[in-house]
Amino acid sequence: MAKNGKAKNTLNKAKHAKLMDRKKNKLKKEAALRKERLKAIIRKSKESE
């Protein structure tokens, strides 16, 4: 027999997925920013030589 009523646990899973996506995006953005800063420092050091 099928269950009656609201599907259990779907809202919680959706919230968790949303949070994890947000976390992944934040980490990617921070990594890209760090890379860009390093590139800028390297460029600056090459110019000053």
Quickly state the pLDDT bin for 1 (edges 50, 70, 90).
low
3-state secondary structure of 1: coil
Buried b (16+ CB within 10 A) or exposed e, 17-45: eeeeeeeeeeeeeeeeeeeeeeeeeeeee
Q: What is the pLDDT of residues 13-46, one digit of tens each?
A: 999 999 999 999 999 999 999 999 999 999 999 9
8 φ, ψ (degrees, to nearest 5): -80, 140
Structure tokens at 14: 């959706």
